[in-house]
Structure 1
């Protein structure tokens, strides 16, 4: 948790600098997106980070990334994580079963994180793709 707290503090400090440098809103959003991509926070620290950034905005009387934009960024990050999980599971399937048929790829594309995790745990016991995914 200490590492996460350090990352949060660093991310807050960098965000504060964006405001203090006097950048235009578009530049702040663009640079914030880069910072947000580079410094990922543990799930529990995101609300704390958002609150601290809201305080900076209030203090500086500037709008940075509004709530809808923040929610969209969080959704994009979540979608990216699910795609990464599906990609890893596909590699595991190919490694174990030698192939990844189209119907399997479709199931992977449609699955959520919880389902992908369950399949990932089950792959070591499943003798066939059908028994894994059905």
Structure 2
């Protein structure tokens, strides 16, 4: 309910004129009127969406960092890497990458790192 409805009661002919004027202003500014509950809900939804986006960004950053570190270690230990190694690094999840980081310590070959 609009505040004007509770504060102002107009005769019927003026209500029509008021409605037309208000509609014209609304059309000009294309502004949606929100009540306090809608504003709070939208603010909370926006915050939740931003938090989810930040969390995904952090996870992607961790994944990229581990993959890059592992790639550098593999290259240092075994020299030029075949394409299949790069493919495995790109498609592995973070848990698998962490497992491979540990396995590289004792690995004597690339296959020792990547075997199941």
- Normalising to structure 1: TM-score of the pair? 0.51
Which residue number in structure 1 is paired with residue 17 of structure 2? none
Which residue number in structure 2 is paired with residue 101 of structure 1? 82
Residue deviations 1:71-95, cap 9 Å, x none?
0121111011101100000000000
C-alpha distance in structure 2 between counterparts of 1:108 and 1:68, whole Å: 29
- Is the counterpart of residue 92 in structure 1 residue 73 in structure 2? yes
C-alpha distance in structure 2 between counterparts of 1:63 and 1:125, whole Å: 52
C-alpha distance in structure 2 between counterparts of 1:82 and 1:67, whole Å: 23
Which residue number in structure 2 is paired with residue 67 of structure 1? 48
Structure 1 unaligned blocks of 5 or more: 1-57
C-alpha distance in structure 1 between counterparts of 2:47 and 2:81, whole Å: 41
Give the deviation of 1:69 after TM superposition: 2.2
Structure 2 unaligned blocks of 5 or more: 1-39
Give the deviation of 1:63 after TM superposition: 2.8
Q: Which has the larger radius of gyration?
A: 2
C-alpha distance in structure 2 between counterparts of 1:71 and 1:79, whole Å: 12
Within the candidate set 100, 104, 111, 1:123 is matched to: 104
Runs of 4+ aligned structure 1 residues displaced above 6 Å come to none
Cα RMSD after superposing both structures: 2.0
